[in-house]
């Protein structure tokens, strides 16, 4: 009888151990930490953006933990690489939301990925804080927020810049992606409404390397400005535009600002203007302190994206202190955000879009600077 009792006890112990071994981890699996997710392009041609964003998150995370963490718990971030590919992003979000069971995901940077993963985030009530700017994200769901403004607001400021300088004709060469198409549409609409004339609209595939055919059509249209919404391939387009003798002002997007831009383009970068929410030359104490910390830790100067998720991490850490991992509480407190960060004052509207100042920038003396 004793042997049977012993065997039964051993079987129960083994079953319990197997259950623990195969039960998916979740945000509460470690009483000493709180886990959140990050979905970013950490490989592929757009990895330069994802790596910088991760740096910003890590800098803030370490500071939060050094200051006592989340009510004494360590903040942990589970990173998943989406390679700026919607299909890969869907797999990543499913893992983070349904296996890791995180209450928050930071990212993605890619508009196509954000739009693809939004239904998964909504279904699992996972608050998502993206860096993407497609206008379609505005209506992606109640749990979808972003730290960068919609393309609608970026293009509004860009068009105002052109009109103020008496530039009334423009052509467009856009990336055939959710990001590129949405910015092209927003720009064309706003430019026409402002009295401008669109002379040509051409597109390219993200995998293209030769843009001469489209650029020749742009040249024939003889615009005063060319709007080129795209990712890292925009650098090659700008070089080929110069070789094609296009002398128009080049208008880009916030993605123009990356570590590879100035080394690759040199003085050609000074022909480009673009909108952004942050500029190092503003010389504000918070910016100076942040950039010093960033350089001291990573050995490189910041470009255009680390500061946003540095602020985003602090916003989320503050909310986690109030809500722990309560998903509804996290979402509701995101809408109440009023945070004064490195990027300036950050609030979110009823659609989860940020209310934040936009400035125009360019390159001078090998530095990304605000247009004076």
One DSSP character per residue, 301-317 reads: ---SSHHHHHHHHHHHH
Q: Do 33-149+285-356 and 152-276 come out as alike in CATH topology?
A: yes
Chain Cα centroid distance, residue 52: 10
Q: What is the pLDDT of residues 183-216, one digit of tens each?
A: 899 999 999 999 999 999 999 998 899 999 999 9
CATH architecture for the domain at 33-149+285-356: 3-Layer(aba) Sandwich (3.40)
Tokens in use for 291? 């950039």
Q: Quote the DSSP letter at residue 80.
A: E
DSSP structure string for 163-219:
HHTT--EEEEEEESSHHHHHHHHHHHHHHHHTT-EEEEEEEE-TT----HHHHHHHH
More confidently predicted of 17 and 169: 169
Q: What is the pLDDT of residues 148-192, one digit of tens each?
A: 999 889 999 999 999 999 999 999 999 998 888 988 999 999 999
Q: What is the pLDDT of residues 83-128, one digit of tens each?
A: 999 999 999 999 999 999 999 999 999 999 999 999 999 999 999 9
Chain Cα centroid distance, residue 63: 21
Chain Cα centroid distance, residue 181: 17
Give, in words, the CATH class of 152-276.
alpha beta
pLDDT at 18 over 50: no
CA angle at 312 for the pair 142 and 363, rounded to the nearest 5° = 115
Cα dihedral 346/110/26/352 (nearest 10): 30
- Cβ-based neighbour number of residue 44 at 10 Å: 16
Most confident segment among 145-154, 181-190, 214-223, 251-260: 214-223
How many Å apart are CA 152 and CA 157, to the nearest integer? 9
How many Å apart are CA 122 and CA 97, to the nearest integer? 10
User: What are the extents of the domains in the chain?
Assistant: 33-149+285-356, 152-276
Residues 97/105, Cβ–Cβ less than 8 Å: yes
More confidently predicted of 64 and 28: 64
Q: What's the pLDDT score for residue 21?
A: 43
88-108: b (≥16 Cβ within 10 Å) or e: bbbebbbbbbeebbbbbbbbb
List, edge to edge, every strand of the sheet that includes 104-107: 74-81, 33-40, 104-107, 127-130, 144-146
How many Å apart are CA 350 and CA 101, to the nearest integer? 26
Q: Quote the DSSP letter at residue 9.
A: H
The residues with which 249 forms a beta bridge, in sequence order, are: 225
pLDDT at 62 over 60: yes
First to last CA, the chain: 89
Please tell me whether residue 37 adopts helix, strand or coil conformation: strand
Chain Cα centroid distance, residue 260: 17
Q: What is the mean pLDDT of the chain?
A: 91
| Burial of 338 from C-beta contacts in 10 A (0-12 / 13-18 / 19+) | exposed
How many Å apart are CA 109 and CA 133, to the nearest integer? 9
DSSP structure string for 251-293:
E--GGG-STTHHHHHGGGGGGEEEEES--GGG--HHHHHHHHH
Q: Which residues contact 263 (CB under 8 A, 6 or more apart)?
A: none
Q: Which residues contact 195 (CB under 8 A, 6 or more apart)?
A: 163, 168
How many Å apart are CA 343 and CA 308, to the nearest integer? 6
In residues, how long is the chain?
A: 372
- Dmax over Cα atoms in the chain, in whole Å? 96
pLDDT at 222 over 90: yes
**Among 119, 112, 153, CA closest to 136:** 112
């Amino acid at each position: 009888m004793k042997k049977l009792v012993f065997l039964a006890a051993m079987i129960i112990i083994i079953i319990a151990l197997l259950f623990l071994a195969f039960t998916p981890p979740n945000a509460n699996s470690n009483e000493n930490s709180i886990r959140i997710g990050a979905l970013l392009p950490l490989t592929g041609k757009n990895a330069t953006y994802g790596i910088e964003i991760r740096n910003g998150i890590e800098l803030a995370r370490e500071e939060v933990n050094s200051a006592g963490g989340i009510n004494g718990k360590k903040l942990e971030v589970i990173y998943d690489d989406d390679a700026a590919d919607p299909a890969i992003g869907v797999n990543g979000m499913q893992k983070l939301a349904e296996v890791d069971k995180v209450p928050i995901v930071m990212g993605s940077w890619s508009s196509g990925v954000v739009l693809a993963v939004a239904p998964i985030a909504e279904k699992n009530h996972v608050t998502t804080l993206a860096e993407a700017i497609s206008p379609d994200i505005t209506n992606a769901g109640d749990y979808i927020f972003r730290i960068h403004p919609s393309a609608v607001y970026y293009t509004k400021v860009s068009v105002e810049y052109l009109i103020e300088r008496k530039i009334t004709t423009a052509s467009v060469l856009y990336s055939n992606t959710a990001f590129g198409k949405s910015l092209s549409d927003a720009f064309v609409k706003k430019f026409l409404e402002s009295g401008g004339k669109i002379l040509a609209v051409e597109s390219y595939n993200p995998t293209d390397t030769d843009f001469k055919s489209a650029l020749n059509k742009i040249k024939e249209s003889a615009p005063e400005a060319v709007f080129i919404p795209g990712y890292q391939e925009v650098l090659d387009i700008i070089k080929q535009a110069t070789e094609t003798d296009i002398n128009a002002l080049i208008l880009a997007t916030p993605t123009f600002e990356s570590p590879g831009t100035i080394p690759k383009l040199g003085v050609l970068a000074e022909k480009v203007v673009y909108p952004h929410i942050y500029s190092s030359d503003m010389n504000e104490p918070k910016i100076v302190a942040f950039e010093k910390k960033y350089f001291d830790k990573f050995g490189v100067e910041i470009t255009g994206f680390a500061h946003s998720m540095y602020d985003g991490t602090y916003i989320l850490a503050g909310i986690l202190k109030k809500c722990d991992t309560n998903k509804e509480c996290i979402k509701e407190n995101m809408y109440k955000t009023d945070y004064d960060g490195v990027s300036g004052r950050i609030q979110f509207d009823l659609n989860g879009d940020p209310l934040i100042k936009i400035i125009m920038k360019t390159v001078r003396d090998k530095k990304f600077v605000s247009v004076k």
